[in-house]
Structure 1
Amino acid sequence: MNWFTIKNIDTIDSPALVIYKERVHDNIRLLKEMVHGNVSRLRPHVKTNKITEVCSMMMDAGITKFKCATIAEAEMLAMIEAPDVLLSYQPVGPKAIRLAALVEKYPATKFAAVVDNIHVAEMLSQLFAEKKSSLNVYIDLNTGMNRTGISPEHATQLFEAMHLLPGLKVVGLHGYDGQIRDTDVELRKQHTERGFSKVLILAAAIEAVSKQPATIIAGGSPTFPIYADRNDVECSPGTFVFWDWGYKHGMPDEPFDYAALVITRIISVVDEHTITTDLGHKSVAAENPFPRVHFLNAPEAEPVSQSEEHLVARVPDASKYKIGDVLYGVPVHICPTVALYERAVVIENNIAVTEWKVIARDRKINT
């Protein structure tokens, strides 16, 4: 029997997201081994899994710090009393008010947010000072991705201004270098260290002013192995917990295994070389070009078109397939795929045993 085969597959409607619990455990164990067991250096990003039970598995493994991208993800973590939660998304408009409400509602969790400009810092300062509260903040740095963040060369002035604001405490620096995806490990290391050198210079300048050590949070799944060898960085990979085709083949040096798949059924045999499954845009992340999914038990099936509820694939010989056959697919990108499902089916010892709600796919849980 293949590792992914589900004995009671007839009990699972398709399309479905399935999570192999033993493999999630293994990926968490591998993550800890890569930082030599020093879990204080881990701050996993939960945007991949969005599931309370998966985050609880990480907490059971001794991980106490987390990163998230949405208020719902932050609340999900607070609901299980995660001790330390960073919202790595600058809170603007109602998000800031919702974050302040979380701080008040969940005192067992220490929240923080990222900031990359003085206007947001001043808004947060006023909001938290009026509540006679305080928020830890990290300066968000642009280390080459050109998505958010301030250039490290210009961040000292921002720190000096934020350092004086009531209601805020600047505790460190945050940098995400998601643009670095070299398959060659040595090239990936060179590109990572080139950008990170500017962060270290900035950290030294900030520490000279504040007289306090600055916590540095850096990287994601592609650059995690490089930061894992440093003792001065909190690492924040996220995809590791489920892994996907894109990282498995783009980062072959990383040891993680697939722990989440999508299952689909053949619903039509169109002609001698064409089959159709029920894996549409609504069931697997569609932002990548074809193929967006690879089938473990039908590697010869080549996806060629897709609509909301259908995926059409070309095969050498369609007579080898029949309507109702189950295909087990590895998404090229697992993170947005997870967000397409309300629930995930949990597999243990090749048997579907329960379901976990993908609770943080919602934009709002309670707050």
Structure 2
Amino acid sequence: MITDSIMPWYVPPGAEGISTPALLVYPERIEENVQRMLHMVGNDPLRLWPHVKTSKCRHIIERMVAHGIRRFKGATLPELEIALQAGATDLLLAMQPSAAIAGRLLDLAAANPSARFHAVVDDMQTLHRLEALTRKRNQTLTIWVDLDVGMHRTGIAPGPEAAALIETVAKCPTLETGGWHAYDGHLHQSSVEERRGACREWSRAFKQWLASTPLLKDHPLPLIAGGTPTFPMHAEASDRICSPGTSVLWDAGYAEHFPDLAFEWACVLMGRVVSKPTPESLCLDLGHKSVASEMPHPRLHFLNLAVDAFLGHSEEHLVVSSPEAPRTPVGTLIYAIPRHVCPTVALHQELLAIQEEGEMVSWPVAARQRRLNF
């Protein structure tokens, strides 16, 4: 528990007046994480193409833009919209667009002619549909071929069909060739060397394929590679564009599994003890609606409460057993780091930004919606 004489970094001024559950963010820690991201790529912002799915918040993206990072990717159109509002110049839709989404993407592009729009593709039928749509609307779209390098979720395996996609893009007057996009989210080894070795394995196979394909060998293209776990590995290759996401806020899951990544926790979930069902247990207002719950417990790493076991979790409530329960009254504020921050943020309408001078500002999580203006 927190006493009056101890005020940890995560406790905001006037905490008792904040309604819970609440998601707190700390701009100075976000700043440290952004600077760390830049440092890892030699302070070259052109080597970063961050994913905005973690924050879904214009104010956080603005802090990256202030450092010269102007290319972002998102899985939804609202994520691209808020990146535009923050000052982004290049927007990549990292989810292969359906016909309906493609039309909305081009509407967004038409309304923002000074920005460049990109999309990933792993399917020839989708590529032909995008070509026909851009030709009909007299618009251009930059295409990145999405490669499956082992995750087997999306993408096309390096081979003749992938080469055919790139060749087809080059022949379409309304489509521009971006390059290759490869997400290796299946690589989550805690050991740095094991992760590096697995990353090198697919990278080596990719390079061998390029070298064995004359057209690709003679016309090298950019590669957007990885997410956060393999960020350090791709950062070591100066010809790659890195695409971290979680690093801007960080979470308990990545902190546990990837201790080599020295990012700061910049997002804290605040709740309260709302009931004491037994002398050894506490009920908190941190139900499924406030924290990502797609994984088994522990779903939270508590900062000011020792927890022995998770006894129950429902929409509004989380019941835990704690040795501190007898001396923890109803109303006690509890602080925790989400195990998975990205979907946790999506559950909240706002982030409460705790400024260094103690001021608290509401930052809307606008891109949690499926549709904004387009």
Establish whether TM, by shorter chain, passes 0.5: yes
CA–CA separation in structure 2 for the residues paired with 1:207 and 1:364:
43
Is the Cα–Cα contact under 8 Å of residues 88 and 114 in structure 1 kept in the other structure?
yes
Q: Which residue of 2 aligns with 1:343?
A: 350
Q: Which moved more, 1:238-247 or 1:198-207?
A: 198-207
Instruction: Please give the secondary structure, in 2, of the residue aligned with 1:270.
Output: coil
C-alpha deviation, 1:303, in angstroms = 2.6
Select which of 149, 152, 166 maps to 2:158. Answer: 152
Hey, what's the Cα distance between the residues in 1 that align with 2:16 and 2:324? 25
Which consecutive unaligned segments of at least 5 residues does structure 1 have? none
Q: Which residue of 2 aligns with 1:307?
A: 314
Q: How does 1:271-290 map to 2 (within 5 A)?
A: 271-290=278-297
The whole-number CA distance in structure 2 between the counterparts of 1:62 and 1:219 is: 21
- 1:230 equivalent in structure 2: 237
Query: Deviation per CA, 1:116-142, whole angstroms, max 9, x where unpaired?
Result: 010000000000011111110000000
- Assess if the C-alpha contact under 8 Å between 2:211 and 2:217 holds in 1: no
The aligned residue for residue 17 of structure 1 is: 23
* Aligned counterparts of 2:14 and 2:192: Cα–Cα separation in 1: 41
- How far, CA to CA, are the matches of 1:120 and 1:244 in structure 2? 35
Which is worse superposed, 73-82 or 175-184?
A: 73-82
Does the 8 Å CA contact 1:153/1:198 hold for their aligned counterparts?
no
TM-score by length of 2: 0.95
Matches within 5 A, 1:126-205: 126-154=132-160, 155-204=162-211
1:96 aligns to what?
Answer: 102
Work out whether residues 207 and 214 of structure 1, in 8 Å CA contact, stay in contact via their aligned partners in 2.
no
Moved more, 202-211 or 357-366: 202-211
Q: 1:320: Cα distance to partner? A: 1.4
Q: Provide the residue aligned with 1:83 in structure 2.
A: 89
For 1:257 and 1:209, how far apart are their aligned partners in 2?
Answer: 40
**Distance in structure 2 (CA, Å) of the matches to 1:275 and 1:42:** 43
Identify the residue that residue 60 of structure 1 maps to in structure 2: 66
Distance 1:207 1:216 in 2: 18
| Inter-partner Cα distance in structure 1 for 2:217 and 2:103 | 28
After TM superposition, give the deviation of residue 203 of structure 1 in Å. 4.5
Q: Distance in 2 between matches of 1:217 and 1:206?
A: 20
Tell me the SS of whatever aligns to 1:113.
strand
Deviations 1:170-220 (A, max 9, x none): 220000000100000000001011112233244456783596431100000
Q: Which whole-Å CA distance do the structure 1 matches of 2:32 and 2:174 have between them?
A: 41
Q: Unaligned regions of 5+ residues in structure 2, if any? A: 1-6
Distance in 1 between the 2:256 and 2:302 partners?
15
Contact kept, 8 Å, 1:240 with 1:256, in 2: the verdict is: yes
For the 8 Å contact 2:306–2:323, the answer to whether it is kept is no
Per-residue CA shift, 1:141-178, capped at 9, x if unaligned?
A: 00111100000124112222333233212220000000
Judging changes above 3 Å, is the alpha-carbon distance between structure 1 residues 294 and 231 closer, same or farther for their aligned structure 2 residues? Answer: same
Q: How many angstroms apart in 2 are the aligned matches of 1:350 and 1:248? A: 27
TM superposition score normalised by structure 1: 0.96
Match of 1:2 in 2: 8
Pairs within 5 Å for 1:96-135:
96-135=102-141
Amino acid at match of 1:318: A
Contact 1:6/1:350 (<8 A) preserved: no
Distance 1:53 1:207, change over 3 A: farther
Q: CA RMSD in A?
A: 1.6
Among residues 259, 267, 272, which one is paired with 1:260 in the alignment? 267
Task: Measure, in 2, the Cα distance between the counterparts of 1:123 and 1:247.
Answer: 38
The Cα offsets for residues 26-45 of structure 1, whole Å up to 9 and x where unpaired, read as 00011111112111101111
Structure 1 residue 220 and structure 2 residue 227: aligned?
A: yes
**Range 62-71 or range 180-189, more displaced:** 62-71
Report what 2:3 is aligned to. Answer: none
Work out the CA distance in 1 between the residues paired with 2:99 and 2:335. 42
SS in 2 for 1:23: helix
Are residues 247 and 207 of structure 1, via their aligned partners in 2, closer, same or farther at CA, if it must alter by over 3 Å? farther
Change (3 A) 1:285 1:268: same
